[in-house]
Structures are given as C-alpha cells and as structure tokens.
Amino acid sequence: MTRQKLIVIAAMAAVAALFFVSGLGKYLTLASLKANRDLLLSFAQEHRLAAVSLFMAIYVAQTALSLPGATILSLAAGAIFGAAMGTAYAVIAATIGATLAFLVTRYLFHDAVQAKFGRRLAAINRELETAGLNYLLFLRLVPLFPFFLINLAAGLTRLPLRTFIIGTLVGIIPGGFVYVNAGASLATITNPADAASPRVLGSLALLGLFSLVPVIYRKFTRRS
C-alpha cells in the first residue's frame, strides 16, 4: 500500500477516534435531541443558512466515516427543518457522504481486491455494469442491509460512480422521509425504532422487490 493511501487511512482513523474520545456521540441521542430541540429550532430560524450548512456538514462527515448517529440526524432534520426540507437536506447530505465513502474505499482497496479476486468477481462485475442501478435500489430500499456496508462493498466492485450516486439518491428518499417525518413530530417518539412501523418497513421492502422486476424479466426472456 502506498504512502498516500496510508495517510488517508490514518487521517480517517484519527477523525473517527476523535469522535469517540471527545464524547460527541452523547449528543447524537434521542434524549439530547429532545432536550435541545427548542434551542436548535431557534438557531435555525435566526441563522437558516448556517444551520443548514452545519447540519449537512455533520451528516456528510457521519456518513463518510460510517459513524453512528444517522437515525438521530434524520430525526433532527425533521424536528428542525420540517418534513419536506428536512428530507431534502438529509437525503442530499447522506448521498454526498455515501459517495465519499464509496470513493475512498475504491481508491484504497478496489485495485487490490480486483487483482486478487478479479476472476471470481467477473460475473458480478458484468451484472453490476448492466443492472447495477436495479440492485442498488433494492439494497437501499430494503431496510435489512446496513447503509454503510453497502457504501463500502460497492466501492470494491466496478459499479459505475454515476450509478451509485443515482441509486443512492433515489433509493434512500422513501426511508429518509419516514424518519425525517417522524422527527417533525418528535414529542411522540420514545425510541428511534418507533419511527418505522412493521407496515412501513414491509412497504419499503416491497418497493425494493419491484426494483428487481426488470432484472428478473431480462433473465426470464434470455432463458425462453
């Protein structure tokens, strides 16, 4: 591994370590959000641009470094900016952060992985080049797959960057709206998990399955 790559890894590790050592994580809790909601709302009303910029910067950093707190940040977006604009800010920031994680992973490990497992991954890479958007939408929509793992795993493949950005941006809108909208009614939430009911999660999973219909159809027509 080159010196430049080691520097990138060290810098990311240092920032992540600072997050945990400094205790910043204690502010990314539901209790803290409820306790400080009025203060945050007042700041956002008086300094809209600064509030939006700061929120998005925090969300981008959290997503890019795969740090905990995404759910709380989505709830905060709804509590501070409202359901519609909160969803827009959260989705855009999450997409930027995910793209950074994707690019860093690709820069650091993609060549090594492809060199070592290229033949084994050949079929997967071909499939991703033709139907990558459908697969990514499925992974983003179905709430069974950890968001950060998808970012990292996708970076190791030959999934086109444009496909990753579009699939992430579109795929996280439904789930993002669910949590941001819940945050707009923050007083009614006692647990972050309350934001998404089993019915909502089932609906997201169904949307994910629909995204695979074109892939299934192509495979079926090839065999017939």
| Per-residue pLDDT reduced to its tens digit, 11-61 | 988 988 888 888 778 888 999 999 999 999 999 999 999 999 999 999 999
* Cα gap 142→140, rounded to integer Å: 6
Which of 80, 55, 63 has its CA nearest to residue 19?
A: 63
Confidence of residue 87 (pLDDT cuts 50, 70, 90): very high
Confidence of residue 209 (pLDDT cuts 50, 70, 90): confident
Query: Are the C-beta atoms of 220 and 136 separated by less than 8 Å?
Result: no
* Cα gap 7→112, rounded to integer Å: 17
pLDDT score of 89: 98
Confidence of residue 221 (pLDDT cuts 50, 70, 90): confident
- Residue 224 pLDDT greater than 70, yes or no: no
Query: Are the C-beta atoms of 77 and 94 separated by less than 8 Å?
Result: no
Burial of 208 (0-12, 13-18, 19+ CB in 10 A): buried
Largest CA distance in the chain: 63
* Cα gap 205→203, rounded to integer Å: 5
Of the candidate ranges 21-35, 79-93, 99-113, 187-201, the one whose mean pLDDT is the lowest: 187-201
| Average model confidence (pLDDT) across the chain | 88
- pTM: predicted TM-score of the whole model, two decimal places: 0.89
* Cα gap 102→107, rounded to integer Å: 9
Higher pLDDT, 127 or 86: 86
Domain count, the chain: 1
* Cα gap 11→14, rounded to integer Å: 5
Q: Residue range 135-144: average pLDDT? A: 88
* Packing angle, helices 147-155 and 48-64, rounded to 10: 60
* Cα gap 71→62, rounded to integer Å: 11
Residue range 155-203, pLDDT digits in tens: 988 899 999 999 999 999 999 999 999 998 887 788 877 777 777 778 7
| Domain, as residue range, for 101 | 3-223
- Residue 77 pLDDT greater than 90, yes or no: yes
